[in-house]
Structure 1
Amino acid sequence: MKQAIVILHGMGEQIPMATLNSFVNSVWTLDPKLVSVSKPDPNTGGTRAGNVSWAKPDPRNSSSELRRITTEQDKNGNYTDFYEYYWAHMMQGTTWEHVQTWLRDLLFRIPPKRVAHAWVLLWAVTLIIGGLTLWGLWPKAEAPAPWVAWLSALGGMAVSAFVSTVLIKRFGDVARYVKALPPNVAKRHQIRQGGVDLLSRLIDSGDYERLVVVAHSLGAIVAYDILAQTYARYNKIGGTGPQPERDALEQMIREAIKSGGLDLDAFQDQQARTFTEAREQCAPWIVSDFVTLGAPLTHAEFLRAESHEDLRARQRDRLLPTCPPTLEYDGTTKTHHFSFSNEEQRQPIDRRTPHHAALFAYTRWTNLYSEEKYILTGDLVSGPVAEVFGLEFQDSETDEKGVLKGIRDIAVLPKLDAAGNVDKDHRRSFISHNNYWAMDKGTEKAPKPKKGPPPHHIEELRNALGIAE
């Protein structure tokens, strides 16, 4: 089998291939489970230092700065091609005007509980900077002492550097992408269209049986949008035969709504079987997995909508795909489906076409996050997404609402136990947002030997990718 993995970088002034090279090193080169260590190195014929890959120009990247990284054959006979969707160059030209509108919107909205402390801190910093600015402009009877003037100058330089380096060059990307204001619309379209074009070229090439999309930080929001738009192009089913696996998945969702809970392991296993069935019926969609790392999608009601109610309304309207997907009532079968049919006589098991927002019927979603505490440990940007992008339902008898959670949230850096506490063999990590594939950033209390098992977060990432499945 030949498969492709596409990674999207996060915010900031990223360097082409930097994200991809470090990612491939962690999930391919240094994974001894993928290729037998006794197999000779294909480059030298001697003892291997790691799994081998090669960088090759590929026109599907649409950039001479990028390369496709292609691997040797793994133990199960798979070949893997790694691609980077690079979009940082499309965000050049961000100014303070772009950022201040977004910041003003954040300051004057009530935040979700889990980021309330960060919102209070943002207000405090804003008030301090505003107060110091007014103090500096306020007329004074006599000139301030020299040390006061020096401190004021240094403070002004620090504020200027913070605005330029952090707010504009980093969070400016967030401000411009998440807000559909007129100055941002062209950039948003350009970024999404580039990603849709890349995935479409990979799908249409016919070279791959499976495609995995991995995204870090703001790239997770970008990737989610790209997947939603690309799937709307490819939500087709070929063949004429019955679809027992699709029918079983729909039945599983319907039963979960009645019971109020979803068995995540069973759900993801059924997603995989539904994906395989669709491929056997010549469906063009090949994205089997979506893996998010440090995803701000956990704050979607704050970043992608005007309120929690607005977010749910967008999901019900199928603007934002949910996992499990939204169901619709079929007057012929007298039940709910995420698929439809134009046949007059039909049974639930018969051939049906998924609707345009049924992406996560066929694509499993795994989300790795780092629990934040006191802002300086863990990852404030990240968090669980299963509740936010799960399928909201309402009990027909009690009118109580609930959410079916079809996304696998995995806490890493540090690992959490079943009760949500830090695992006894792990410890908290200092600002872990950029460490999701860093081999030297484990939070295990005991140091890892060089030839021992990988850090917890690396092991979970490798499991989510399933390179040797």
Structure 2
Amino acid sequence: MDTLRGALASAGVRKFRNKPDRFSQGYELRRFAAEGTASRPPTDFFELYWAPHFGPGRLGATLAWALRLLVRRPFWHLDPQLRGAMGVLQVSVVALAVAIVWLLARRFGEDGFVGAIGWASGVFAAVAAVVNLVAGYVVTRVLADAARYLTPKPEHVTARNAIRQEGVQLLHSLHDSGAYERIVVVGHSLGSVIGLDILRITFDELRHPNPATPEPNDEAKRFSTVVRDLPATPTRGEVDLFQQGQRRLWRELRARGARWLVTDFVTLGSPLAHAPLLLDGKRATLRQRQEEGEYPTCPPTGDILYPRTYELEDGRRRTGLVLDHGAVFAATTWSNAWFPVRRVFGDPVGGPLAPIFGRGVKDVQVRLTSRRRHRRQELFLAAHTTYFRRDLDDDAEAAHVDSGADEAAKAAAASVRDARKALDEESRTKVAHVAFEAMLLLNSRRGVPLPPPPAPRSRSAQDLPPPDQL
């Protein structure tokens, strides 16, 4: 639960009750319940703990996966976030390979074939021992999880399915409880890939409206115009307008009885920024799979809505517009944050997602602090674990004062906010915890009242359309 505690602290949620989690299948997890405030309704926070499905990885298999990625594309064809790191690694590997071949040739001339092979075996064993000693835990635990989840080999499928099934079950339980008005899904690092898989699977099962609800399809009919009005390279304001259109469509779908409650998907330090490198297959690229409807984009591609005729209990028929199975990001916004790589600072794991998953993704570059100086926590790779570190910002609390504070405190807070805004504009970044809090949009009491939550209902075959309509 440490990750969830960090997320709450980053979002400025200071007080919560630690309650039993009756929705997850395991007993290791808890539910953090925050009471409502003047702007925020009562909010529950859950964590999907998927790590136990993967045991320790194998050093050799993980390094082989990493090596395949390393040689798949030359560094000058990679995105700027990865280009520098991969360039150093690729040049180093080539130099090491040349050195080994040269030394092997010398050994072959001096000791013959058997002697050269024996020397080479000893060198490889020594290198493996050094790698295992220096980075064994990172390789067999952290990197191995990514290798196994992102590689659909037969030996990995059982764990991949178990993780997805647990996430889908949690989302269904939250929908069926009848206790919630909206759901926000947050994914950090590999969790963002898992989150995307869970959303695309669950959405297909909860996207249909209630045919007995005679609500209009105004926003559904207007959504194609909302997509068309979004330029190829939109500004931040234009993406905000697009997300407002997504939220209007979500409200209309809820008013029509659709059970889908997920309003926002938030990703942090997501390796999906390098999805073509990670997910391209031998016979199908990621782009092809997106066009086929396997991986959703924002905005969706192809036919977003289609007419469906429902037969009511009294024998009457009613036709309504239904979101396509791949159109999860028609009614769900996607916001993404990452630390830009600048010299030895930044997070090469994350990066912008709009170039890969669609211009409707709101990409936000972040930094740790309101001040100009870099912190050691923003050093290469270290930044990947600091997205929830609100405590690293010296001015985090200075910018948030109670309404009853004295004038001096209010003036100091205003000064901090002004300095932060100036640095935002200069660096084109935002403080990480400020951006994260804004992405969650927890102050939903300040907007139009949300539709009522769906009535409690167990998952059954009756929730799904007939097989010929799937």
Query: Whose helix proportion is higher, 1 or 2?
Result: 2
1:43-74 per-residue CA deviation (whole Å, 9 max, x = no partner) reads: xxxxxxxx421111122122211100011122
CA distance in structure 2 between the partners assigned to 1:54 and 1:27 by the alignment: 16
Structure 1 448/241 Cα, relative in aligned 2: closer, same or farther at 3 Å? closer
Paired position in structure 1 for 2:207: 235
Q: Report the Cα offset of residue 83 of structure 1.
A: 0.2
Q: Report the Cα offset of residue 265 of structure 1.
A: 1.7
Q: Report the Cα offset of residue 126 of structure 1.
A: 3.8
SS in 1 for 2:357: coil
1:79-123 per-residue CA deviation (whole Å, 9 max, x = no partner) reads: 000000001111113112431341232133115242233223333
Whether 1:214 and 2:177 are equivalent positions in the alignment is: no
Paired position in structure 1 for 2:252: 277
Whether 1:389 and 2:357 are equivalent positions in the alignment is: yes
CA distance in structure 2 between the partners assigned to 1:285 and 1:315 by the alignment: 22
- Which one-letter code corresponds to 1:410 in the other structure? V
- Which one-letter code corresponds to 1:71 in the other structure? A
1:124-157 per-residue CA deviation (whole Å, 9 max, x = no partner) reads: 444566678886996989xxxxxxxxx9999775
1:407 to 356, 361, 369: 361
CA distance in structure 2 between the partners assigned to 1:97 and 1:368 by the alignment: 33
1:359-438 equivalence runs, <5 A = 359-374=328-343, 376-390=344-358, 405-413=359-367, 425=372, 427=374, 429-431=378-380, 432-438=383-389
Structure 1 351/97 Cα, relative in aligned 2: closer, same or farther at 3 Å? same
1:382-430 per-residue CA deviation (whole Å, 9 max, x = no partner) reads: 110011101xxxxxxxxxxxxxx10110010169xxxxxxx99565732
Structure 1 153/128 Cα, relative in aligned 2: closer, same or farther at 3 Å? farther
1:95 to 36, 51, 58: 58
2:4 to 9, 20, 36: 20
Structure 1 73/25 Cα, relative in aligned 2: closer, same or farther at 3 Å? same
SS in 1 for 2:46: strand
1:451 to 398, 402, 405: 398
1:189-268 equivalence runs, <5 A = 189-238=161-210, 239-256=213-230, 263-268=238-243
CA distance in structure 1 between the partners assigned to 2:282 and 2:276 by the alignment: 5
Identical positions, percent: 31
Indicate conservation of the 8 Å contact 1:367/1:384, yes or no.
yes
CA distance in structure 2 between the partners assigned to 1:188 and 1:351 by the alignment: 35
Indicate conservation of the 8 Å contact 2:200/2:326, yes or no.
yes
SS in 2 for 1:168: helix
Paired position in structure 1 for 2:293: 318
What 5-or-longer segments of structure 1 have no aligned partner?
1-16, 30-50, 142-150, 329-337, 345-349, 391-404, 416-422
Paired position in structure 1 for 2:449: none
Whether 1:120 and 2:87 are equivalent positions in the alignment is: yes
Q: Which moved more, 1:357-366 or 1:301-310?
A: 301-310
CA distance in structure 1 between the partners assigned to 2:349 and 2:31 by the alignment: 29
Structure 1 286/152 Cα, relative in aligned 2: closer, same or farther at 3 Å? closer
Paired position in structure 1 for 2:28: 65
2:159 to 172, 180, 187: 187
SS in 2 for 1:440: helix
Whether 1:440 and 2:391 are equivalent positions in the alignment is: yes
Indicate conservation of the 8 Å contact 1:381/1:433, yes or no.
yes
1:238-273 per-residue CA deviation (whole Å, 9 max, x = no partner) reads: 22332111222222223547x886831211011111
SS in 1 for 2:171: helix
Q: Report the Cα offset of residue 441 of structure 1.
A: 2.8
CA distance in structure 2 between the partners assigned to 1:298 and 1:75 by the alignment: 37
- Which one-letter code corresponds to 1:193 in the other structure? Q
TM-score, length basis structure 1? 0.74
Structure 1 125/92 Cα, relative in aligned 2: closer, same or farther at 3 Å? farther
TM-score, length basis structure 2? 0.74
Whether 1:105 and 2:98 are equivalent positions in the alignment is: no
Q: Report the Cα offset of residue 166 of structure 1.
A: 2.0
CA distance in structure 2 between the partners assigned to 1:75 and 1:234 by the alignment: 31
- Which one-letter code corresponds to 1:169 in the other structure? R
SS in 2 for 1:86: coil
- Which one-letter code corresponds to 1:233 in the other structure? E
Q: Which moved more, 1:19-28 or 1:377-386?
A: 19-28
SS in 2 for 1:76: coil
SS in 1 for 2:180: coil
Q: Report the Cα offset of residue 343 of structure 1.
A: 4.8
1:1-22 per-residue CA deviation (whole Å, 9 max, x = no partner) reads: xxxxxxxxxxxxxxxx111122
SS in 2 for 1:68: strand
- Which one-letter code corresponds to 2:279 in the other structure? R
Indicate conservation of the 8 Å contact 1:214/1:292, yes or no.
yes
- Which one-letter code corresponds to 1:437 in the other structure? F
Q: Which moved more, 1:448-457 or 1:426-435?
A: 448-457
Whether 1:81 and 2:44 are equivalent positions in the alignment is: yes
SS in 2 for 1:462: helix
Structure 1 321/293 Cα, relative in aligned 2: closer, same or farther at 3 Å? same
The size of the alignment, in residue pairs, is 382
